[in-house]
Amino acid sequence: MQTLKILLCSVLAAAMMFSMAHLIAGCSMAYNGEKLFFTEGCSQCHSFKGKGGRMGPDLSAVTNIRSDSWIYSYLQDPKILNPHSRMPSFKHLSHSKRKAIISFLKN
């Protein structure tokens, strides 16, 4: 019985650590995405929750109408999805940086 309690406590502790690591990673990703949104120049043209430019569309609710994969593709090469887009390509951003911006836009 004692062995079962120890095993159960170990499993519970591992699950809690995994949950905390996942939570921290999510917070970190959103923070990096916010930083990228401003340092990469997105906010020069786009606003998000009242902050930023006005030339491009407000992105406050973009994740309600566009999928993550659509946003990812648009960041990579906007002209493929919209030949008339004035937005520059962000191909230079790594996969994780593009995902971080998308995560930020979901908050």
Integer Cα distance of 44 and 86 in angstroms: 13
**Arithmetic mean of pLDDT, 47-63:** 95
Integer Cα distance of 48 and 62 in angstroms: 10
Q: Are 97 and 32 in contact (CB under 8 A)?
A: yes
Q: Are 47 and 53 in contact (CB under 8 A)?
A: yes
| Tokens of residue 31, six digits | 């923070």
Residues 21-32: tens digit of each pLDDT: 444 455 556 669
CATH number attached to the domain at 30-106: 1.10.760.10
Q: How many CB atoms lie within 10 A of CB 104?
A: 22
In the chain, % of residues over pLDDT 90? 70
Residues 3-15: tens digit of each pLDDT: 655 644 554 444 4
Q: How many CB atoms lie within 10 A of CB 101?
A: 25
For residue 19, the number of C-alpha atoms closer than 13 Å in the C-beta half-sphere is 6
Instruction: Parse the chain into domains and list their residue ranges.
Output: 30-106
